[in-house]
Structure 1
């Protein structure tokens, strides 16, 4: 069957828990999609799809017009983009789906512009289930025309897709979102501890709170854990994002202090849990 998008070749790097379903949505939508991964076994789930493969990041960059990146941290994003910028053609668009410091994407955008390449900061919210269902929220920062050209790709895995301003704006909103999430989880932890102190059955308290005005997504997340130990990995990632917000706002910022105050006790408990 011929592709419904015959003129656009996409690339994707970062096939983790969120990146993998994003790439799969692009492939299933009919985009010619080139994948690269450090570990060959990461590519095995795509053997029966229409995916193409690149032996190097340079090869992927040279073949693609739109490249999605969903690696873990700022250093990884910089390393991948440094290689791409040296090999991609003018007119290529790079969408950074990782959550990183706004200045990281701004610096990369400045470097990319000198090569005729566009950077779109495009962090996502919703996790693996939303990615698999194609209903992620995309928080975009970048040139309006570049975003318009990339919208057919974004729509394969996103539902609410909002341009918030220039490069960096998407990252600012994402770290606010993640800081609020972990603050809400921290408040949920405090509420459950209050219930325990008062002798209230935990399961009954959770059921009632989730049906009452005190409900929140943070409470839903906390209710699925037996203890904070169940959030050791996620807590580390959210601590990073809370730290990014403190860097952007300044540690003495009242909003940064309030969010940190709510989140830190829970994050400390999660970090102390056995690996």
Structure 2
């Protein structure tokens, strides 16, 4: 155990808590950052983790630093704090859903300081984070990927190198674009159906189990039909943020963003209505309400 790298973890929230739990239980020395939400920090301390009072203190105590943060602004601020100290030989692994443009710039800055920056964003849910069966798509050189792979495998069941630094976040945005696009389609289809005598249960009875069924569809409809609020715990605010990144990347690439902009605008509308903290399947409620559709399948005239 003594030769294992010391791990720092910034962002022990819904996803990070389970990931950090699996790291420390795999025998890696772990330091986590103090946070206003004490529950995950205290839980990890009972499992053997230490707590740092600042990013600088955490960085000084770590060889590899994981970031699991809301987005690029928070990642950039945290990396700036890390760069203020000695970074030679250290590795930063950003598991957040970040803007690839920012990721590539941070990798360059870290390289100049003698450190390695790797992007390894996540797919799946907090349940899989806790179980250690997340998916991760990694942007790194082949050599760096092989070096950190055993560490990633403490919390991921599927680890795929998708290219050089920045490619992980690019692939993650494409993945989220597809899923958030489906969420938008489901929501509009349900509203159209409700206006024309097809309720959500009937819709689900036809689509469920057919060629258009998938895990994402199932958790979405677990809320729509079963009203399970915790079936898919990904906020509309985060979804909107991800789609802003997708549209920004499309624009930078010279790609017409007809569909991605439409999906982004729908999520922007939901957040502007004060629904940013609602979970993604609740987009169906927003679209229904905007179209005069009641939850019982009736319509307002």
TM-score by length of 2: 0.81
- Which of 23, 28, 31 is the matching residue for 1:31? 28
| Cα deviation, residue 22, structure 1 | 0.7
Instruction: Measure, in 1, the Cα distance between the counterparts of 2:180 and 2:84.
Output: 38
CA contact (8 A) 1:179 1:238 kept: no
Stretch deviating more after TM superposition (123-132 or 46-55): 46-55
**Is the contact between residue 190 and residue 199 of structure 2 (CA under 8 Å) also seen in structure 1?**
no
- Please name the residue that 1:241 is paired with: 242
Corresponding position of 1:22: 19
Which residue in 2 is equivalent to 1:126?
124
User: Against the structure 1 CA distance between its residues 127 and 223, is the aligned structure 2 distance closer, same or farther, given a 3 Å change threshold?
Assistant: same
Separation of aligned partners in 1, 2:37 and 2:85: 22
Partner of 2:286: none
Tell me: CA distance 1:158–1:88, structure 2 relative to 1, closer, same or farther (3 Å). farther
Change (3 A) 1:191 1:37: same
Q: Which residue of 1 aligns with 2:5?
A: 8
Q: Corresponding residue for 2:193?
A: 195
Whole-angstrom distance in 1 between the partners of 2:87 and 2:240: 37
Tell me the C-alpha RMSD between the 2 structures: 2.5
Return the offset for 1:270: 6.2
Structure 2 counterpart of 1:222:
220
Cα pair 1:183 1:263 within 8 Å, conserved: no
Aligned counterparts of 1:23 and 1:232: Cα–Cα separation in 2: 19
Query: Which TM-score applies when normalising by structure 1?
Result: 0.88
SS of 2:46's partner is: coil
CA distance in 2 between partners of 1:18 and 1:140 (Å): 17
How many aligned positions are there? 270
> Are 2:88 and 1:90 equivalent residues in the alignment?
yes
* Structure 2 unpaired stretches of 5+: 278-301
Distance 2:271 2:233 in 1: 5
Tell me, what secondary structure is at the counterpart of 1:225? Answer: helix
In structure 1, list runs of 5 or more residues that go unmatched: none
Corresponding residue number in structure 1 for 2:68:
70
Q: For residues 80-107 of structure 1, what are the alpha-carbon distances to aligned partners after superposition, in whole Å with 9 as ceiling and x for unaligned?
A: 1111122244211100011111111111
Moved more, 38-47 or 64-73: 38-47
Q: 1:92, 1:25 → 2: CA distance?
A: 21
Tell me the distance in 2 between the aligned counterparts of 1:243 and 1:237.
10
